[in-house]
Structure 1
């Protein structure tokens, strides 16, 4: 009864009024303890050494808990301590400087590329659950607050064998925090340039078998502009509200039930300049509501069972108001509903760790910009994976081998069945050396937009039409990596290579240049064949100064459209990352400096480049966006009583431009954090 009431309340919320565009948007394993006052939490322990990091638990690579050193697929982890040390306010800012990650900035949000694969091929999860509300092909990273995130797990490369469609390029999983003590609380506030303010807080309690956690946050920022000579803004101003509630009951060590709900609202305001010279005031509101209920039970005979259900509701409203005229005024509303159910079993049988289950996914989209509305899709999937410890030596320090074959079969209500097999292995020739390799197939069915979209912009002179005859995209990928841990405390070096081949790529085609007198139609077709391949090098060095680490990374990417015989658009061939982090305990100081260099990227602005025509180019020209340096830093000082003050500087070299890199300009903010 609760779910329908909450859903109805959200849908009945005050919309953006297309008749009154000027109205401002509204603001957005401890046990039972004695009931005695608790002392403040001790200062956070120092960041664990590399050998200890390998002992932490991760879940994304195998859909069940494993030690990081035991996972067959390489998993990168960003811990809570690292999140706070960087000062990132959302997921996009956190991953901006992460090695091997590329962000895609558009006026509809910031997307994520992994191994050269666009945002539609990367699956983003929260506690293993899908997130609804892709706008076009992008799931905006700015929607993800880091307030309640304990760690971020990243698996690069094909993961369709366990997660199905949308995981061709990899998976990013946000793991939320759990209550660990009888009483805990935190608060954080910051303020800086662009009138940016960020306030967040949480409180939780663990009393015997019961856990309760509640939190909320508010963030605001003014619009910014890289080209003040015209009326348009480069980046939208925003107001963001979010809140969540988590309940859990663990009657014993073998059982756990949980209920989680969260709501966030993000309001944006910006000014757009139409190619014909018209000025449009844009207001956009995105609302997301999620509720999940699940349980895990440890059964006899080394078997565990997971059952989970999830409902997600995403509503986007977009209002464009032309100054001085109503000719180009436009209002649209899109509502996406996501239904997800999972039953999963894990069983240990000798040297085999078996994981299998079934997953049911339903999607429903309601929008006036579709040829028919609403549209719905149902997909069922069955998956199984075996992690087999192959005995190579009776010596505990001898070579070890893990082989992990996996297979998933998805049945889509629109496109039928699709298999996604994968074979992965992990070889440890010695305690200092680890070799990983995997090969797998994947698929991505066309989105509702690609199938059914019908949108007309008469003021510019174009129509976008979906294509119901589209076929799913297919992929085949190979990944190989080596980790070497020299006999020096805190040192680690890794090298990896990847190759992904794509067929039946969905591409936008057009027959001319936008023209208000004779509008051109853009459509979608399966026309492209492409590949992405490259190498990634990473190293972590502990410097002679105590608690000081230097992280270095380099990525070489070769991404090519084989149909047109040219590089894929927007990808940098070279990317270099560096991070220096230090902690000086006698003075309670901690500092982190992150930087990256990104080489030039190709963009195609002619008719064969698809929708790029909309920005006002009518030939087949190509341009290269310039390379840029990015630098950010944070310094924090721990006070008594659990307080900490910090100063954060971002984009210190002012890297950005109006067209190809419209990110916020140089800024500084400061704040205070309290932990109990």
Structure 2
């Protein structure tokens, strides 16, 4: 795979004709990489962006399926659509990524993960993925990187859209959105619903586990922004997702769960002087889980994350200086009695960004003071140099840390019976820390862009939730080293659009030499889109090497390659017919197991939809 990918990229470089140097990203602006708007072609971090148009074209009903096609991203899933999923960035753990929705942290402070499966792709306008350490900008947990999801906002031109569709497993989906501006006020409203009979979450032959585990999602997002006077704007953003999922009755999981994920924030953006821009935001994210089951009865866990931000961006004669203060207040409400249910974090950061001539420079430093585990200082420094109009080389060094979760620290003693043993939290855990070095080479010819990034990430005080013991508890288990190379290409040939990426990595436990669980040595994706007048066709290939389900590397998960097809036909300027076939060759594969019993993955499946959008 590696030889084919490298040879293919080299062939593309030699075969494509020369174009004017206007990059395919010239009009693209990235916010997440440095917390300020920045031209994407000037960003030094390893960044991917997927737009709302690309998300719609993909036809996916799950945000996890959208993310798995991006460089550096691996996924795991506990069953079909709507079941618990997780994302790994650059071989790090699923708790080692900060996830933001419109600038607000979302996710569970008890588990340390974000329920991507609950976020409807139909609510999303844009996704930015920053790979590499980012704690110096975003604080705890950004060891692998940051994923920021932007929901749909209103623009000046009024736009309305409606869609509905039907697919395999009796999957039904409907969406509606309305956005626009009246005078100095912009607003949007987006509603989506998804219902599916689903597949069995566990793949075994018992009568109860062979059923269909249904899932329902109802999501709404809304925003309103008002310009008070030139340079001064206030905005309100709301996101709310309600989900209901069923599970196999003979698993440890409850027979069904109600899940809620919501966020609300109020933001004031102010141009104080010609060189000083201030952003003030207050908001709260909530992650709630209510579960019912014959084995363990009823349980409720809610995480509240109240957040305050004051960021000041100052334009200097050379470069931009950013000074910011973040405060995060986490609160857990649960029928499970945790020893502690509150903690606060205060973060102060300074960042400097320069892009002058052939030189680019970025420096950031942050100090976090946490009421639970003390103080941590992290930093990042990066430099880039453009040899000519096509070639750029850059390098960086950064540190990051991951905080133990409430469940890691304070989960009360629980006896799961003679078959599964006991589990209890560990209040003596230390934060996980990392040091990352990387170098990147970029070739941008205008219509074709190739990047190669090599990284070396050393992780100390590695946090693991389980050790495979009968009387289990989380612990710090030494260190891990993750070496890797990411290759990515995007370009256009006449009416063809090609995206390809490959990751070759070695995420290993330093003490045992074993691969970190559920992470492969190689994975990648290819997308080829073709356009003929009113018809668009896409072919997508997603591939991963073998992984292990456990830290001891005793349960092997085989590699897999999935082939998907997408299509769109424009019936009229307003109406379009869209379709998608996933796993065309009905590949049998496993992403995770439950004590050795595989979680199911969907076989070949079809979804067809009809969309109307005003012009």
Secondary structure of the residue aligned to 2:91 is coil
Secondary structure of the residue aligned to 2:186 is strand
Higher radius of gyration, 1 or 2: 1
Q: Cα offset for 1:253?
A: 4.1
The partner residue of 1:648 within 576, 580, 585 is 580
Q: Cα offset for 1:50?
A: 7.3
> CA 1:621 to 1:548, structure 2 compared with 1: closer, same or farther past 3 Å?
closer
- 1:260 and 1:491 map into 2 onto residues whose CA distance is 36
- 1:661 and 1:175 map into 2 onto residues whose CA distance is 31
Unaligned runs of 5+ in 1: 1-48, 322-327, 392-399, 514-520, 610-619
The partner residue of 2:343 within 372, 377, 389 is 377
The partner residue of 1:255 within 207, 232, 237 is 232
> 1:148-547 residue pairs with structure 2 within 5 A?
148-225=123-200, 227=203, 229-230=205-206, 231-233=208-210, 236-274=213-251, 282-321=255-294, 328-372=295-339, 375-389=341-355, 400-454=358-412, 455-458=414-417, 460-486=419-445, 490-508=447-465, 512-513=469-470, 521-543=471-493, 546-547=494-495
- 2:287 and 2:153 map into 1 onto residues whose CA distance is 25
Secondary structure of the residue aligned to 1:232 is helix
Counterpart position of 1:99:
71
The partner residue of 2:45 within 73, 84, 91 is 73
Q: Cα offset for 1:211?
A: 1.6
Q: Cα offset for 1:56?
A: 1.1
The partner residue of 1:555 within 497, 503, 506 is 503
Checking the alignment, whether the CA contact within 8 Å between 1:110 and 1:138 is kept in structure 2 is: no
- 1:347 and 1:75 map into 2 onto residues whose CA distance is 24
Q: Cα offset for 1:434?
A: 1.6
> 1:577-596 residue pairs with structure 2 within 5 A?
577-585=525-533, 588-596=534-542
Checking the alignment, whether the CA contact within 8 Å between 2:312 and 2:323 is kept in structure 1 is: yes
Q: Cα offset for 1:457?
A: 1.6
- 1:205 and 1:511 map into 2 onto residues whose CA distance is 54
> CA 1:254 to 1:464, structure 2 compared with 1: closer, same or farther past 3 Å?
same
Secondary structure of the residue aligned to 1:147 is helix
> CA 1:320 to 1:526, structure 2 compared with 1: closer, same or farther past 3 Å?
same
Higher relative contact order (CA 8 A, sep 6+): 2
The partner residue of 1:672 within 607, 610, 614 is 610
> CA 1:657 to 1:63, structure 2 compared with 1: closer, same or farther past 3 Å?
same
Counterpart position of 2:12:
none
Instruction: Show CA shifts across 1:624-649 (max 9, x none).
Output: 21111111111111122411111111
- 2:490 and 2:224 map into 1 onto residues whose CA distance is 38
Checking the alignment, whether the CA contact within 8 Å between 1:235 and 1:663 is kept in structure 2 is: no
Instruction: Show CA shifts across 1:453-499 (max 9, x none).
Output: 0233236342211111111111111121111024xx52111111111
- 2:558 and 2:495 map into 1 onto residues whose CA distance is 36
> CA 1:571 to 1:228, structure 2 compared with 1: closer, same or farther past 3 Å?
closer
- 2:117 and 2:109 map into 1 onto residues whose CA distance is 12
> CA 1:576 to 1:212, structure 2 compared with 1: closer, same or farther past 3 Å?
closer
- 1:313 and 1:656 map into 2 onto residues whose CA distance is 36
The partner residue of 1:569 within 500, 517, 521 is 517
Counterpart position of 1:62:
34
- 1:331 and 1:50 map into 2 onto residues whose CA distance is 58
Q: Cα offset for 1:390?
A: 5.2
Q: Cα offset for 1:158?
A: 0.5
Q: Cα offset for 1:134?
A: 5.5
Deviates more, 1:375-384 or 1:53-62: 53-62
- 1:143 and 1:134 map into 2 onto residues whose CA distance is 16
For the aligned residue pairs, the C-alpha RMSD in angstroms reads: 2.2
- 2:254 and 2:435 map into 1 onto residues whose CA distance is 44
Secondary structure of the residue aligned to 1:51 is coil
Instruction: Show CA shifts across 1:438-461 (max 9, x none).
Output: 111111121000000023323634
> CA 1:252 to 1:466, structure 2 compared with 1: closer, same or farther past 3 Å?
same
Q: Cα offset for 1:593?
A: 1.3
> CA 1:314 to 1:65, structure 2 compared with 1: closer, same or farther past 3 Å?
same
Checking the alignment, whether the CA contact within 8 Å between 1:233 and 1:270 is kept in structure 2 is: no
Deviates more, 1:459-468 or 1:408-417: 459-468
- 2:152 and 2:464 map into 1 onto residues whose CA distance is 40
Unaligned runs of 5+ in 2: 1-20
Q: Cα offset for 1:123?
A: 0.9
Q: Cα offset for 1:509?
A: 5.5
Q: Cα offset for 1:79?
A: 1.4
- 2:42 and 2:553 map into 1 onto residues whose CA distance is 49
Checking the alignment, whether the CA contact within 8 Å between 2:415 and 2:423 is kept in structure 1 is: yes
Secondary structure of the residue aligned to 2:376 is strand
Counterpart position of 2:96:
121
Secondary structure of the residue aligned to 1:94 is helix
- 1:348 and 1:673 map into 2 onto residues whose CA distance is 44
Secondary structure of the residue aligned to 1:663 is coil
